[in-house]
């Protein structure tokens, strides 16, 4: 698969009544394509997937798939294997370019159970699958040994590794086939992950700083490590700000105040506090020349 190095986990725009704003979602997808994103994840954590209905996910994927020229990856994972497969069947006719499948959360399966879950999901579809490991949200970490076994399954082709453990990240690269893609799921580790052989990043920050991140990746690929390191340091304050509270609260606010309206949040997420707003605006000012749009 060629999803490129800068995959954006896209936010889901809502209107004033908190309905999905499909027209604005298409505009955002096109904006991200123009700002160096090489693929989009729709209905991921950043897209507020727990609050979207199956019908909303289907229409969102359909509208975006028709209007961009980069791969579209669908977030379909749950903590229920049958439900995950049902989610895949619901959108398979859209011919998306991949599936993001999270490690099951809350029920905390052991490693044997994780293997059985992903294997069963993979056997239900011909679409390429990205495993999503994010123990900070799920309460369970998928081991390198389990990933190595899963990488032997034909259509399990990648992992979004968001444990924050660079030793584990490096071992995943070292112990899986060369064609198996290991993406960072931590924005702040984008450059370090590339340096140890990672494929790229599934990014939150690229919703607002895709051009800058693309420039950093270009510099890395051109062996200009001085420039790559400089841009990385410039981005660090933004990376920190976007995770100062629960994602996607800060990134939606960042888009709104820089002039791209994505609306509010469905419960249980709520508006950012004044302190969070100040931190996000300060990070944007440090990185970009912006005019803020406050209601």
List the catalytic residues.
Answer: 132, 160
Question: Beta strands 200-203 and 181-184: pairing type?
Answer: parallel
How does 55-87 read in b/e, with b if 16+ C-beta sit within 10 Å?
A: eebbebbbbbbeebebbbbbbbbbbebeebbeb
Listed in sequence order, the DSSP H helices in 75-188 are 81-91, 111-123, 135-138, 144-150, 166-175
Handedness of CA 131, 77, 210, 62 (dihedral sign): positive
- Cβ contacts of 250 within 8 Å, gap of 6 or more: 241, 242, 243, 244, 272, 276, 279, 280
The number of C-alpha atoms within 13 Å of 202 and in the hemisphere containing its C-beta is: 32
Q: DSSP assignment, residue 248? A: T
Rg for the chain, CA atoms, rounded: 18
3-class secondary structure, 292 = coil
């Amino acid at each position: 698969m060629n999803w490129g190095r800068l995959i954006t986990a896209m936010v889901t725009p809502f209107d004033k009544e908190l309905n999905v704003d499909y027209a604005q979602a298409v505009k955002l997808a096109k904006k991200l394509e123009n700002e160096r994103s090489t693929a989009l994840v729709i209905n991921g954590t950043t897209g507020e997937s727990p609050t979207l209905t199956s019908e909303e996910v289907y229409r969102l994927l359909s509208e975006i798939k028709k209007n961009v020229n980069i791969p579209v990856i669908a977030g379909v994972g749950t903590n229920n294997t049958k439900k995950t497969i049902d989610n895949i069947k619901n959108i398979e006719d859209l011919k998306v370019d991949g599936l993001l499948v999270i490690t099951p959360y809350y029920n905390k399966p052991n490693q044997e159970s994780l293997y059985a879950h992903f294997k069963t999901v993979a056997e239900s579809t011909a679409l390429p699958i990205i495993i999503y490991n994010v123990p900070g949200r799920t309460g369970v970490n998928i081991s390198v040994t389990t990933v190595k076994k899963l990488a032997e399954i034909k259509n399990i082709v990648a992992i979004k590794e968001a444990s924050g453990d660079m030793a584990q990240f490096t071992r995943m690269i070292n112990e899986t086939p060369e064609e198996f893609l290991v993406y960072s799921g931590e924005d702040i580790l984008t450059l370090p992950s590339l340096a140890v052989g990672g494929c790229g990043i599934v990014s939150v920050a690229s919703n607002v700083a895709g051009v800058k991140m693309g420039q950093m990746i270009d510099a890395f690929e051109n062996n200009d490590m001085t420039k790559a390191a400089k841009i990385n340091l410039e981005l660090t304050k933004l990376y920190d700000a976007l995770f100062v509270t629960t994602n996607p609260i800060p990134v939606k606010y960042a888009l709104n105040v820089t002039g791209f309206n994505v609306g509010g949040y469905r419960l249980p997420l709520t508006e950012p506090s004044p302190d969070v707003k100040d931190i996000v605006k300060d990070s944007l000012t440090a990185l970009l020349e912006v005019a803020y749009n406050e209601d």
